[in-house]
Amino acid sequence: MESQMIDTYIKRLQFEFEEGSVQIKFLKDINGLLEREFKLTSKKGQEKNIPLWIATELVKQGYAKLKENFIELSELHNVLKKEGEAHALQPIDGDFYLKVREQLKFLKQIESPTAQQSYEKIEALIRDILSMRLFKVLKIASQTRNSRDFTEYMTKEERILFQELSSLCIQWKDKLFSLD
């Protein structure tokens, strides 16, 4: 898979994630708000499940707040600690990177020192987590030909990377020791 195909795959995952349903609580009445052929009517205080992309717009415009909390800093610290202590990949939510990405996008749009500090802390933690997990994925990809046993704790993004790295490592090893 070429980098363009990986980009397309990740964009598809992001699209599917944004189409997924989240619960919001309305802070204001809405009567017939129309967004990309999605008509919405609701009363203040009412809770609804709607696609994430619509919820994000409603939150930005002050019409609603997300009922589902973002990933807490303490949870990111726990993931980092577990990854650092273990040689193998540790289980994380399959949508972990997508959730963190949405959280970072949301924080980036808020103009406040607190939001900026949260953004910077989360970004630093996720970079460390990503580096640790990437190292483990690369190690597994370079050592095995049977991928099914090792992908259980990988996210979708990590699985596609693993498949590409594994294929590349196998080709490299085969070429290196080819007697042709």
**What is the full DSSP assignment across 32-46?**
EEEETTEEEEE-TT-
69 has a pLDDT exceeding 80: no
| pLDDT given for residue 113 in this prediction | 85
- Cβ 19 vs Cβ 51: under 8 Å: yes
pLDDT at residue 149 greater than cutoff 90: no
Both tokens of 116, joined, read: 């900026």
Q: Which range, 12-16, 113-117, 129-133, 169-173, is most confident? A: 129-133
Report the C-alpha gap between 11 and 76 in whole angstroms: 24
Residue 36 has pLDDT above 70, yes or no: no
Average pLDDT value for the chain: 84
Q: Compute the Cα dihedral for 94, 53, 127, 5 and give only its sign.
A: positive
Length, in residues, of the chain: 180
Q: Which residue has the tokens 């303490």?
A: 74
Domains along the chain?
A: 1-68 (3.40.5.50), 70-180 (1.20.58.1030)
User: Could you tell me the pTM of the whole model?
Assistant: 0.74
